[in-house]
Amino acid sequence: MNSDENKERFNIILVESILEGLDFGEVVLRFLELNFNLDRKKIADNPELFAKNLEKTLGSWMAKIFEENILQILCRKINIDYLEVEGLTFSEAIKKTFEKYSKQLKPSAQLINNR
């Protein structure tokens, strides 16, 4: 599996985590898409844009609460300890979880290629 496929799969998991982590997740995500030119298929590529516009929409205090919830769900889904990203900005945490997710996939991809 190449890095583009990894990013695409990771982004799907990230969007699922956003939908689960936000009250009215689909409504909020759709609002961000319509008002801030956000593409849900590319949130993993530009988590800063998502975080910035979530804060504009919900205020910084609420955005931080939801970001933390999203990250906890994401970490649980991809078997990463949340403590590894706790305290990072949302963008830094997304980048770090993607790196760890990609590393998890490499051994299984190598097994498939060695057959």
pLDDT tens for 40-80 read 999 999 999 999 999 999 999 999 999 999 999 999 999 99
pTM of structure: 0.88
Percent of the chain with pLDDT over 70: 91
> Do residues 14 and 43 make contact, with C-beta atoms less than 8 angstroms apart?
yes
- The total number of structural domains in the chain stands at 1
> Do residues 94 and 14 make contact, with C-beta atoms less than 8 angstroms apart?
yes
Specify the CATH number for the domain of residue 92.
1.10.1200.200
Torsional class of 59: left (φ above 0), alpha (ψ -120 to 50), beta (otherwise): left
State which residues form the domain around 7. 3-113
Average pLDDT of span 81-101: 96
